[in-house]
Amino acid sequence: MNRLESKQSIAKVGILKVLPKNSTVFGYQLLLDLYDCAPGACDDIDLCYKFLDEIVGYLGMEKQAPPYIFRSDEVKFPDKAGLSGWAPLIESSIVIHTLTPKDFISIDIYCCKEFDLLKAKQFTQNFFLPQRMDEQFLHRGKDYYK
């Protein structure tokens, strides 16, 4: 998929450009499911580390520590072969899980401050070039400030 097709794919996903103001919400969580990612992306530990390392600054967040990334035991868990990674943030975390056998990636971006959803989705789309990307968005801790 080229970048133009990538942008068209993003346009098909329901886009909320910037999160709504809501003073009673503690945090915001964007869940992305990426299907049929670029060949080799799900097993590329350097690519996934780079994603976790770079998206933090791109979204205006701050790391508590460098990302951590691990490879699943392909022999013990053949249907779960892939990578799991985590970028600890001052504001919360960004998590990635890949499943190599299905070229599938799930990403959770959880932050206690507002962030630009469109930027997060475009950055992710350009990194992994999925054929399809589904999303869910949650307000976390709705009664935290009551």
For the segment 97-120, what is each residue's pLDDT rounded down to a tens digit? 999 999 999 999 999 999 999 999
> β-strands 132-140, 104-111: how paired?
unpaired
Residue 117, Ramachandran bin (φ over 0: left; ψ between -120 and 50: alpha; else beta): alpha
Longest CA pairwise span in the chain (Å): 49
Q: What is the pLDDT of residues 60-82, one digit of tens each?
A: 999 999 999 999 988 888 788 99
Confidence at residue 58, expressed as pLDDT on a 0 to 100 scale: 97
Q: How far apart are CA 103 and CA 87, in angstroms?
A: 21
Confidence at residue 24, expressed as pLDDT on a 0 to 100 scale: 80
Average pLDDT rounded to a whole number, residues 26-43: 96
For residue 109, the Cα-to-chain-centroid distance in whole angstroms is 5
All residues at 6 or more sequence positions from 132 whose CB lies less than 8 Å from its CB, including other chains: 9, 34, 35, 36
Query: How many CA atoms, within 13 angstroms, populate the side-chain half-sphere of residue 20?
Result: 7
Confidence at residue 3, expressed as pLDDT on a 0 to 100 scale: 42
